[in-house]
């Protein structure tokens, strides 16, 4: 995700918040949802869940954060909806950047999907995101983020970071940024699968535009399995940007670091939108393998040939991960590398952005009690990970995207979502509370010894992930956050 420049960032929220009056047993955090009349979308079932969870939570500060954060995508980022093509379309922005990312839009909306079957309008809204993603992929499958279509009449402010970009293939008229990220296309498959499995809606599986997007994804992934010299002189994707920040462009005039064919799929950029050190990005390949198997499950009866292609690709990637990405470490034995190149080089680290190595069980790739994962997790949550930062009270995983010392709340949520340790979970919840700088919302990142020094006051993905984390605890570990378990059913 591109970081806002200092001149563009502001600590003021661009909506009128609900008036808040502190009562005897209320939270120290303000209520910062928009007034009900100004919310972009209201779901009765989502409001019902918010009320049920918050009324039963022990910690009123956590309850207030959940009340603010979980509905933030619906409250503030639904920019446009449309029915004119015979199917719904929904365009949502990330928050303070007026573009729609494939990855972010999936993760912003994913925690509402289980409730869609009980809310027809919410169901249609989510299906509209799937169709909007499909249209975007067909127009520019190598892009990571998009403008709304021209017929939306939404303003098209220029991406301030892309004025010098050169790419192969060229951008489309809806391309906000053209960074090839494997997890972007896998995220479209993830949202499609979650929607299908929860709603049992099969209609979109035979839609021409959805199937065209799926076929495009499979073909792109297979092209990106090629080694650098296999496609030398005829690279399917190249990208360069005039910049002083090395992670904003690719080496060798847009080619990227060389790789040897292994069965893995190249991803020239990470989910942080930073360029990879070695293009075989393992968390993205793990997500792709999982979602390709889900694609097979969805369409094995309606499109058997495409389903077989997806299943074969999923297995190839899975096997290549285990053949190429498990590295011997002098302290942690065998661990997953973050990136490899097929020549024997590897990058041992993790980035807070999801998919990450920390998130592998959350992605459905591996059991959270698997020995290799546990050793990898131990490395990630230690100073052996170059982007693990800790002070006296606060610690967590950051990202090269925001530089040294900045912890991402998303990593704290993922620590909870992959933990079996009640004490670790409670301690991490406390860090999350302290990270908000009393704003009542999650941020992109905060400085490890000063939470008041943070980036992005309006970042819907982080807000949504915190909401998802509380929902997970209410279901899997209610004793940690719920006051009276006898009266609580969820």
Q: What is the pLDDT along the chain (490 residues), one digit of tens a residue?
A: 444 433 234 467 888 887 654 444 589 999 999 999 999 999 999 999 999 999 999 999 999 999 999 999 999 999 999 999 999 999 999 999 999 999 999 999 999 999 999 999 999 999 999 999 999 999 999 999 999 999 999 988 889 999 999 999 999 999 999 999 999 999 999 999 999 999 999 999 999 999 999 999 999 999 999 999 999 999 999 999 999 999 999 999 999 999 999 999 999 999 999 999 999 999 999 999 999 999 999 999 999 999 999 999 999 999 999 999 999 999 999 999 999 999 999 999 999 999 999 999 999 999 999 999 999 999 999 999 999 999 889 999 999 999 999 999 999 999 999 999 999 999 999 999 999 999 999 999 999 999 999 999 999 999 999 999 999 999 999 999 999 888 888 7
**What are phi and psi for residue 450, nearest 5 degrees?**
-160, 90
Say how many CA atoms lie within 13 Å of 224 toward its Cβ: 31
CATH code of 36-487, in short, is: 1.50.10.10
∠461-438-478 over CA atoms, to 5°?
A: 65
- Write the pLDDT tens digit of every residue in 31-58: 999 999 999 999 999 999 999 999 999 9
∠153-156-157 over CA atoms, to 5°?
A: 150
Cβ 272 vs Cβ 355: under 8 Å? no
d(CA 281, CA 285): 6
Task: Tell me the torsion sign for CA atoms 278, 279, 280, 281.
Answer: positive
Q: For residue 18, what pLDDT is reported? A: 73
Helix 182-199 × helix 208-223 angle, to 10°: 140
The ranges assigned to domains in the chain are: 36-487
* pTM of the entire predicted model: 0.96
- Write the pLDDT tens digit of every residue in 59-78: 999 999 999 999 999 999 99
**What are phi and psi for residue 342, nearest 5 degrees?**
85, -10
Residue 81 tokens, joined: 């909806």
> Is cis: bond before 355, omega within 30 of 0?
yes
Q: For residue 11, what pLDDT is reported? A: 62
Burial category of 214 from C-beta neighbours within 10 Å (exposed 0-12, middle 13-18, buried 19 and up): buried
Residue 142 tokens, joined: 């190598």
Q: For residue 488, what pLDDT is reported? A: 82
Give the residue from 88, 70, 130, 87 showing the smallest Cα distance to 106: 130
Strands 280-281 and 339-340 come out as antiparallel
SS3 445: strand
């Amino acid at each position: 995700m591109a970081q806002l420049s200092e001149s563009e960032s502001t600590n003021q929220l661009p909506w009128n918040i609900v008036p808040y009056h502190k009562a005897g047993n209320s939270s120290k955090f303000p209520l910062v949802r928009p007034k009900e009349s100004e919310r972009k979308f209201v779901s009765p079932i989502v409001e019902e869940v918010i009320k049920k969870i918050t009324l039963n939570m022990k910690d009123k500060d956590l309850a207030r954060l959940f009340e603010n954060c979980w509905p933030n995508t619906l409250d503030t980022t639904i920019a446009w909806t449309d029915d004119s093509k015979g199917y719904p379309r929904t365009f949502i922005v990330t928050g303070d950047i007026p573009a729609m990312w494939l990855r972010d839009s999936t993760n912003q909306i994913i925690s509402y999907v289980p409730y869609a079957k009980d809310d027809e309008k919410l169901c249609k809204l989510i299906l509209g995101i799937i169709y909007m993603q499909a249209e975007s992929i067909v127009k520019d499958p190598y892009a990571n983020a998009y403008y709304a279509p021209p017929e939306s009449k939404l303003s098209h402010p220029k991406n301030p970071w892309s004025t010098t970009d050169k790419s192969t293939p060229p951008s489309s008229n809806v391309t906000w940024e053209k960074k090839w990220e494997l997890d972007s296309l896998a995220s479209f498959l993830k949202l499609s699968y979650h929607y299908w499995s929860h709603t049992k809606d099969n209609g979109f599986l035979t839609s021409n535009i959805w199937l065209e997007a799926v076929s495009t994804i499979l073909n792109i992934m297979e092209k990106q399995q090629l080694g650098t010299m296999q496609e030398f002189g005829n690279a399917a994707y190249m990208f360069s940007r005039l910049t002083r920040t090395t992670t904003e462009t690719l080496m060798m005039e847009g080619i990227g670091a060389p790789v040897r064919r292994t069965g893995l799929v190249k991803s020239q950029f990470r989910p942080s939108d930073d360029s990879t050190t070695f293009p075989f990005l393992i968390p993205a390949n793990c997500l792709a393998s999982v979602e390709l198997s889900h694609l097979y499950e969805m369409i094995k009866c309606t499109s058997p040939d495409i389903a077989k292609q997806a299943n074969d690709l999923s297995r190839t990637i899975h096997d290549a991960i285990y053949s190429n990405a498990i590295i011997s470490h002098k302290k942690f034995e065998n661990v997953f590398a973050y990136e490899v190149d097929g020549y024997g080089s590897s990058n041992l680290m993790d980035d807070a952005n999801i998919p990450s190595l920390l998130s592998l069980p959350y992605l459905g790739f591996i059991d959270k009690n698997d020995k290799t994962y546990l050793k990898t997790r131990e490395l990630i949550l230690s100073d052996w990970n170059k982007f693990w930062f800790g002070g006296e009270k606060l610690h967590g995983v950051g990202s090269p995207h925001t530089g040294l010392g900045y912890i991402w709340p998303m990593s704290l949520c993922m620590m909870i979502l992959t933990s079996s340790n009640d004490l670790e979970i409670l301690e991490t919840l406390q860090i999350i509370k302290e990270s908000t700088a009393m704003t009542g919302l999650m941020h992109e990142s905060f400085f490890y010894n000063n939470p008041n020094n943070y980036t992005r006051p309006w970042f819907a993905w982080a807000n949504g992930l915190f909401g998802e984390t509380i929902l997970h605890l209410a279901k899997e570990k209610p004793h940690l956050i719920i006051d009276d378990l006898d009266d609580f059913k969820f």
